[in-house]
Amino acid sequence: MYYPIFVDLRGRRCVVIGGGLIAQRKTAMLLRCGGDVTVISPELTRRLQRDARRGRIRHLARRFRRGDLRGAWLACAATDDQRVNQAVWTEANRRRLPVNVVDQPALCSFIAPSIVRQGDLTIAISTAGGSPALSKYLRRQLTRSIGPDYRRMLDLLKGLRPLAKQRLPSYEARKRYFDRLVEGRVFALVRKGHVARARQEALAALAGDE
């Protein structure tokens, strides 16, 4: 059983060991989340080479060495070399860093879930490492059912939060208000593409709750 958690990686040093397609995917996700990424590998995919040339990542063109995780906040190993993977795990544990070694749960202090995204809405799916295939299947199912209307609704709700906090001082009042927006006509309007109208009705409901 893993404890689900969302981590703020903005500006934090993340080290990826490996330069293949899996390392590329790991790097892309870390960059998307604002991580300061260093990739350690003698060779890189073309995309990682491009990221290095553009300064999006730091590249150490060599094999992993003891001490490479100094100052890191998180580490990912995506290599076919078991000795390297074990060395990454050992150093990460010595430094008390979160570490993920791809496809080796015994060498992971965290695992990466399958992700469904719509803007700032993130849904993470995990089988605790038991079946990546099932996680990917569920991701495909959710991707089909969680459409752009959820992103638009989230944007609307985020925009209303400061005003709701100002006008509805109690947590319970705000909870009732936002529950009504999500479960009722406002979300229905967003789903039909009437975002401006939905906002008007949300503001009217807020005024009625004051």
For the residues of 20-34, what is the DSSP string, one character each? SHHHHHHHHHHHHTT
The separation between CA 165 and the C-alpha centre of its own chain, rounded to angstroms, equals: 27
Distance CA 107, CA 92 (A): 10
pLDDT one-digit tens code per residue, 61-94: 999 999 999 999 999 999 999 999 999 999 999 9
What pLDDT, on a 0 to 100 scale, did the predictor assign at position 209? 58
CB atoms within 10 A of CB 121: 13
Four-point Cα dihedral 64, 70, 74, 79, nearest 10 = 0
pLDDT band for position 207 (cuts 50, 70, 90) = confident
